[in-house]
Structure 1
């Protein structure tokens, strides 16, 4: 895809991108797609997927208590537990505000470890990475928030994950579970801050997956459908799936999110969508 060549003009040392169609085929790749990058918060998609596997296996329940008093696994996945960004300190009652929280994902990982009787990285590898053939993906042991921002992966591996997210019959999750996580807003109507992009009313989220809806400004494009879902990371990474376009896009870089990405990513996304015929 010619539109992917736009990453060559980004003010980064290295970037890689891939576009995957809803049938699982690769529409295009550009850059070193087998080079590992720190994922930052794109990690949360892998963590959420593993938690949902545990729910399907019966090790966890979405509405079981986890985190501060009154909070559940569902609240933690949807950033409505009330926990602060990087502290295990309650800032609001569960279900009343969308408070984006790395700490909440660390609690999720600990809850999963206790239920499964195995270390969080090992569970993610066994439940998600190995079935999808994501052999290059792992967790950075020294990350401040392992479950929230400690993932390391390649564009090629995340393209495999993007194919899974769009599959009619996913390899890992039941279609109804995947749909609930990516298409249905958890705790609708809550406002909150989208990190780096300001306050959003509402700040819609599924179960671990951000749902675009009508957010503005946003890290996706003006042509992106309201049903677009995914995540971006402060390390300069993103993965979005646009069901209306029938495609997903992964972009990984080695420069932190900032003004450059706020300008480049929406234009890049619109270029990809135009080439896809949106």
Structure 2
């Protein structure tokens, strides 16, 4: 991957990356170096919630959160719950409010029903089966995980071809929920509309967008405020993981979009 050379020009203390294509994994940097994920945590936590759905802990349309809200609303940031506090900020289904607090409501419910802390549930349901030995949820289900490129590459392989949940379940996670909602993508402003799946952000027609200008509209993934991101394009067998240890800011907005466009061009060459 010639595009990896671009990573060496980034103004970050450490960077590691992988690109997955056609069953192969190409890597750059120390893939076993641990990084704080921040909101990339939401992908891991949400996959755990999808497993919980298949285990019968709850269903997508189980009432949860504010009056009128469901598991589906919480997973797709449509419940009206505020960003960082479990308080109601908008009516259910009125606005896409990017909410870590909503993730924690889901995690607390799974913990109660499974009779174990959610970090243990995620370890048993996701990390152990995939051999993600250096991943840990230490805090909020919205932003409190730590992992490595090696481990997230295993997760990327899982979402390319699910083994822990039914393909139909993951397809629903990659389908826009409540498609007319507007909302703000942190760092990228108001998006009208602001498509989101079940825990997985969907690129749609957002512009600007951290994945760049050329990745398809159905690209799913997430970025984190610790300078991290993961994207996958359903049906193509292609995904990318990049982890750094410099907080998201102007440098990332300048670097990520052209890098992702470069990766996509190389994969399509």
Which bracket does the TM-score occupy, shorter chain normalised? over 0.9
By how many angstroms is 1:73 displaced?
Answer: 0.9
Q: Say if 2:155 is the partner of 1:161.
A: yes
Tell me the number of residue pairs that the alignment of Structure 1 and Structure 2 aligns. 269
How far apart are 1:244 and its partner, in Å? Answer: 6.5
Partner of 1:96: 94
Query: What is the TM-score with the length of structure 2 in the denominator?
Result: 0.97
Aligned to 1:273: 264
Residues 22-68 of structure 1, C-alpha deviations (whole Å, 9 max, x = no match): x4321x21011110000000000011001110100111111112111
User: 4+ runs of 1 displaced by more than 6 Å?
Assistant: none
Greater Cα shift, 147-156 or 61-70: 61-70
Q: What CA distance in whole angstroms lies between the structure 1 residues aligned with 2:261 and 2:212?
A: 5
Question: Which residue does the alignment assign to 1:16?
Answer: 16
Rounded to whole Å, the distance in 2 between the matches of 1:244 and 1:51 is: 22
Moved more, 248-257 or 113-122: 113-122
The equivalent residue for 1:3 is 3
Q: How much does 1:243 deviate?
A: 3.2
- Per-residue displacement from partner, 1:224-268 (whole Å, max 9, x unpaired)? 000100000000000000236541000000000111111100100
Counterpart selection for 2:172 from 175, 180, 186: 180
Match of 2:111 among 85, 110, 113: 113
Deviation per CA, 1:157-193: give whole Å up to 9, x if none: 00111111111xx2211000011101x1011110000
* Cα distance in structure 2, aligned partners of 1:207 and 1:63: 12
1:208 corresponding residue in structure 2: 199
How many angstroms apart in 1 are the aligned matches of 2:236 and 2:114?
A: 37
**1:152 maps to which residue?**
146
Unpaired segments of 5 or more residues in structure 1?
none
Hey, what's the Cα distance between the residues in 1 that align with 2:264 and 2:134? 28
